[in-house]
Amino acid sequence: MSETVLVPYDGSPLSRRALEYALEKCPDDEFVVLTVVDPVDAVYAAELGGLPEAKRWATEAREAAEERLEEAADIAAEAGVDAETVLEVGDPERRIVDYVAAHDVDHVVLGSHGRTGVSRLVLGSVAERVVRHSPVPVTVVR
């Protein structure tokens, strides 16, 4: 019986590695690739350029997220897997954990971090928070 594996994908090298790892280790399972657009970044855009800049950011962020999902679907297809792709908007950790709870996910595989530098230190690791709050097993790929 196959399980459902959720792979959060932000386009970083570690999220790609996590996807490739999951496809290699669980080739017979069903895959959902989730990318999350964090609207907090729109606040910064609005502060710098006002409402028009925030609207432009929202459009560009959605387009970039859709491109990331296409990339992830291509990676899965190369491995012979037809992965479902999902785009969510909100706090990445919360959206991941909520998706797991609402969609009968059996396992989460994610990269150890996507952000780098100061933003990672200030915001903390999404992977760490997912590990703490996920109701299902989580594999963290480094």
The residues facing 8 across adjacent strands are 34
pLDDT tens by residue, 67-89:
999 999 999 999 999 999 999 99
HEC profile for 51-73? HHHHHHHHHHHHHHHHHHHHHHH
Q: Domains plus CATH for the chain?
A: 4-38+71-141 (3.40.50.620)
pTM: 0.89
pLDDT at position 119 is 46
Cβ partners under 8 Å of residue 4, min gap 6? 29, 30, 31, 32, 103, 104, 105, 106, 107
% of the chain surpassing 90 pLDDT: 71
Write down the pLDDT at residue 53: 77
Higher pLDDT: 25 or 44? It is 25
Between 115 and 60, name the one with better pLDDT: 60
**What percent of the chain is modeled with pLDDT above 70?**
89
pLDDT score for 45? 67
The whole-number average pLDDT for the span 120-130 is 70
